[in-house]
Chains A and B, each alone.
Chain A
Amino acid sequence: MNPKDFIAEHVQNLPRSGIRDFFAIVSEMPQAISLGIGEPDFITPWKIREASIFALEKGKTSYTDNRGLLSLRKEISTYVSSFFGPDYDPQSEILVTVGVSEAIDIALRAILNPGDKVLYHEPCYVSYAPSVSLAFGEAIPVGTIPEQSFSLDPEAFEKAWQPGCKVLLLNFPTNPTGGTADKQKLERLAKFAVEKDLIVISDEIYAELTYEGEHFSIVDLPGMKDRTILLHGFSKGFAMTGFRVGFACGPDWLIEAMMKIHQYCMMCAPILSQEAAIEALRHGVDDVKRMREQYQKRRDFIVRRFNQMGLSCHLPRGSFYAFPSVHSLGLNEVDFCHRLLREYEVAVVPGTAFGPHGKNHVRASFSTSYDKLVDATDRIEKFVESVQAEKEDASAAV
């Protein structure tokens, strides 16, 4: 038996995640300080955990409506209306999913015919290109650049467009760059989406973690609600990664199409997580603000330290990642990460784990305590000095 014959070709062709490769190495070094964590360092606020425990004690262990508990969808509708702008009907325009990851998967599978093209910006979250491939679509990455702080560049999307493009996949604030999109640029992009008749899938999971100004969603622009699926969830802002609960808001015909896939592959999001999510929306918003304030101070610290040590780092306007350039050291991002881990026991993630446009950059999460951030940045500084000294020695020898 040849195992290869039994694995679908499009799955065989999926590349391994660069994150997984690096995870394997870091896992063998438990003493290392990790700035590689892609989730909040805060534990879910107790009131939210307690709501889930209470639901368990009450015997809430059943399936729910495929679309999610109506009480949760009503809370989502109220929250989305106040935070993002548009009103969605809890009965027909909201679907509760197992995290935003599932929502991206089923949205793409609901929309794409084989060969349909998806425009998305890169560097980006690791699942976008594989999710497009698994839906038999073709991924068209559009680079965002450090000179523009990796923010949205509508012109680059316009240039990258080609016949067969059907979907525009956005993620602002962005993992891993912290880039954001301002209203003016989103207006231009919205116009482009209308002109080219594109569906927009907007993953706004980091929306609450916006530090400069207020988050603005493309879905709040005139005419965009009819062609946009807004994806959001509880993992990042509410520190609920392990609960695996997110949601999609969109036109009823798109939500219904996603529902068809969701009901067969997932049934519903876990009821205990849905109960926790209700509590999060009812009473957890102040906790989100508290955590955001702390992330912002840590962001200011780590960005300043990277720039002080000569690693050029733009100010991430959202998310909890800094994305400094290591180009000045003459090391590529993978060598930088491996040497830093081996020699100074600090883990950061190579930018290319998030796509080729992340070359010469590394992702460092500031979702960690000050003690660790201070220690980690001191070690990185020593590493940078040692590499610079090597470079000087090498040039002197020549």
Chain B
Amino acid sequence: MSDLLKILQETADPDSSKLAKILGLAVEDVEKQLHELKENGSLLGWVPLLHPSKSPSDSVRAVIEVKISPEREGGFDRLAHRISKFDEVEACHLMSGAYDLMVIVQGKNLHAVASFVSERLSTIEGVLSTATHFLLRSYKEHGHLLAKDGEAYEKPPVSA
């Protein structure tokens, strides 16, 4: 992994002038590297990470376990790509174990997710079964603890 990506993962801040300072590079060089990382697909993009209860949305999320039939050529890939293309699908992963795909879906409400599963997902040829679990509350998102007090603790400002 490049130094730039390592720093980005730690700071989560795409400010190229700050990154240039940290890396000891010219701002233009950092911008060029960022551009290349986007071009070659290493860096997919930026998403603001919101606290679910502080910025409540009208949507609901569900994790769906999907069993599918593998195909002679391509295994699970064609169906997985097809399912991933739905706007409702936030993430789609091939899993080991009791089911094949874990699909994370977001919808306006419970009814919308249910409709997606019953009318779109289950009806795809090759989808054998689905089991839908609605998310009730989140405690950690992308490495961030969501509890009110988190892990904040002030250390003494000067020590030996």
**A contact set with B: CB distance below 8 Å:** 17, 19, 22-23, 26-27, 30, 32, 34, 36-39, 41, 43, 125-127, 175, 294, 297, 300-301, 304-305, 347, 349, 370-371, 374, 377-378
Whether B155 contacts A39 by the Cβ 8 Å rule is yes
Q: Which of B6-14, B55-63, B103-111, B113-121 contacts A (4 or more CB under 8 A)?
A: B6-14
Contacts of A17 in B (CB 8 A): 160
Contacts of B156 in A (CB 8 A): 23, 37
Whether B22 contacts A374 by the Cβ 8 Å rule is yes
Contacts of A349 in B (CB 8 A): 158
A43 and B11 alpha carbons, distance in the complex (Å): 17
Whether B7 contacts A297 by the Cβ 8 Å rule is yes
Residue of A nearest to B154 (CB): A30
Whether A23 contacts B158 by the Cβ 8 Å rule is yes
Whether B21 contacts A36 by the Cβ 8 Å rule is no
B38 an interface residue at 8 Å Cβ cutoff? no
Whether B151 contacts A36 by the Cβ 8 Å rule is no
**Smallest Cβ distance from A336 to chain B, in angstroms?**
15
* CB < 8 Å neighbour of A371 from B6, B11, B151, B157: B11
**B contact set with A: CB distance below 8 Å:** 3, 6-7, 10-11, 13, 18, 21-22, 24, 151, 153, 155-160
Residue of B nearest to A17 (CB): B160
Whether A125 contacts B22 by the Cβ 8 Å rule is no
* CB < 8 Å neighbour of A38 from B3, B24, B160: B160
A385 and B136 alpha carbons, distance in the complex (Å): 55
Residue of B nearest to A367 (CB): B155
Known pairs A370-B22, A371-B11, A374-B18; A297 contacts B6 (CB<8 A):
yes
Whether A19 contacts B160 by the Cβ 8 Å rule is yes
A300 and B24 alpha carbons, distance in the complex (Å): 9
Contacts of A34 in B (CB 8 A): 157-158
Whether B24 contacts A27 by the Cβ 8 Å rule is no
Whether A304 contacts B11 by the Cβ 8 Å rule is no
A-B contact count (CB 8 A): 62
**Smallest Cβ distance from B119 to chain A, in angstroms?**
43
Whether B10 contacts A294 by the Cβ 8 Å rule is yes
Whether B24 contacts A36 by the Cβ 8 Å rule is no
Residue of A nearest to B155 (CB): A37
Question: 8 nearest interchain CB pairs?
Answer: A36-B158, A38-B159, A34-B157, A23-B158, A26-B157, A126-B160, A19-B160, A38-B160
Whether A301 contacts B157 by the Cβ 8 Å rule is no
Residue of A nearest to B11 (CB): A370
A347 and B157 alpha carbons, distance in the complex (Å): 8
Residue of B nearest to A38 (CB): B159
Known pairs A294-B10, A297-B7, A301-B24; A32 contacts B157 (CB<8 A):
yes
A23 and B24 alpha carbons, distance in the complex (Å): 32
Contacts of A19 in B (CB 8 A): 158-160
A38 and B158 alpha carbons, distance in the complex (Å): 7
Contacts of B6 in A (CB 8 A): 297
A49 and B160 alpha carbons, distance in the complex (Å): 23
Whether A304 contacts B158 by the Cβ 8 Å rule is no
Contacts of B10 in A (CB 8 A): 294, 370
Contacts of A301 in B (CB 8 A): 21-22, 24
Contacts of B18 in A (CB 8 A): 370, 374
Known pairs A370-B22, A374-B22; A22 contacts B160 (CB<8 A):
no
Whether A36 contacts B22 by the Cβ 8 Å rule is no
A297 and B3 alpha carbons, distance in the complex (Å): 9
Report 25 cross-chain contacts, Cβ distance below 8 Å, ordered by A residue: A22-B158, A23-B157, A26-B158, A27-B158, A34-B158, A36-B157, A37-B155, A37-B156, A37-B157, A37-B158, A37-B159, A38-B158, A39-B155, A39-B159, A125-B160, A175-B160, A297-B6, A301-B22, A305-B21, A370-B10, A370-B18, A370-B22, A374-B22, A377-B21, A378-B21
